[in-house]
């Protein structure tokens, strides 16, 4: 049987492994070091920045494939648009790695604190917009709850909780723990025959 979403399923599994590796390590460092960690991070270009870019590429790819899937197989145009917006916001967020590149090339430290503060602000704004887009996607998909395959139902419900957790800020780490599990569900859906079940 041809699996048109096999590559997307593999990407989701890979993202499920790399995502917590990067973010949970980063959160622990941030808790222990505070804003100084951000100041240091934007002035260095290392393997963690490469991992950050890889995660961004994978996440954008997964969201774009979800957009195609909802448009082509579930006829959910609003959900498809929401996934594209999520992909754009993730691309912009991971594009902040260019700040690290600029510091690495310019070898300047005079404005590190100001840049770190602006980067943090941009992160909060993009994160908030991402949560809003995710909530819109969840509302659009869950309004057609019975039409969704079982694993996609669980995925969308989980994404709803994840967005709420991120919006509270204090429960953000719970969202980071939940997201990899949701990616595994998505990967199973794409790599098995469930996606080929008839949608009523």
Instruction: Give pLDDT tens digits for 17-36.
Output: 999 999 888 777 666 666 66
Is residue 192's pLDDT more than 80? yes
Confidence class for position 198, pLDDT limits 50, 70, 90: very low
153 is a domain residue: yes
1 is a domain residue: no
Looking up tokens 């995660």 gives 55
75 is a domain residue: yes
Mean pLDDT of 8-16: 96
pLDDT one-digit tens code per residue, 127-184: 999 999 999 999 988 888 888 889 999 999 999 999 999 999 889 889 999 999 999 9
Q: What is the average pLDDT value for the chain, to the nearest integer?
A: 86
pTM for this prediction: 0.88
94 against 106, higher pLDDT: 94
Residue 31, domain extent: 6-196
Q: Which bin fits 149, alpha (ψ -120 to 50), beta or left (φ > 0)?
A: beta
Mean pLDDT of 2-7: 80
Q: What per-residue confidence (pLDDT) applies to 118?
A: 85
Q: Is the dihedral of CA 145, 88, 46, 118 positive or negative?
A: negative
Confidence class for position 200, pLDDT limits 50, 70, 90: very low
115 is a domain residue: yes
Contact 79, 70 (CB under 8 A): yes
Structural domain total, the chain: 1
With the CA atoms of 46, 120, 139 and 198 taken in that order, what torsion angle do they form, in degrees rounded to the nearest 10? -10
118 against 190, higher pLDDT: 190
The Cα 198–Cα 200 span in angstroms is: 6
For residue 197, what are the contacts with CB-CB under 8 A and spacing of at least 6? 149
The Cα 33–Cα 54 span in angstroms is: 25
65 is a domain residue: yes
Q: What per-residue confidence (pLDDT) applies to 65?
A: 95
The Cα 160–Cα 130 span in angstroms is: 12
């Amino acid at each position: 049987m041809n699996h048109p979403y096999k590559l997307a399923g593999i990407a989701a599994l890979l993202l499920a492994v790399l995502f917590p590796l990067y973010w949970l390590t980063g959160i622990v460092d941030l808790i222990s070091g505070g804003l100084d960690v951000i100041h240091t991070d934007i002035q260095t270009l290392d393997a963690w920045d490469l991992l950050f870019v890889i995660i961004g590429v994978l996440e954008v790819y997964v969201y774009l494939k979800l957009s195609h899937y909802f448009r082509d197989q579930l006829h959910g145009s609003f959900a498809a648009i929401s996934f594209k917006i999520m992909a754009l916001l993730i691309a912009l967020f991971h594009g902040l790695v260019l700040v690290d590149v600029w510091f690495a090339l310019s070898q300047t430290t005079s404005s590190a604190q100001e840049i770190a503060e602006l980067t943090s602000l941009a992160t909060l704004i993009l994160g908030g917009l991402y949560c809003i887009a995710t909530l819109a996607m969840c509302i659009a998909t869950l309004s057609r709850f019975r039409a969704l395959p079982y694993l996609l139902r669980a995925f969308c419900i989980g994404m709803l909780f994840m967005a709420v957790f991120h919006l509270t800020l204090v429960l953000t780490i719970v969202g980071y723990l939940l997201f990899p599990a949701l990616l595994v569900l998505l990967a199973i859906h794409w790599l098995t025959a469930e996606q080929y079940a008839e949608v009523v």
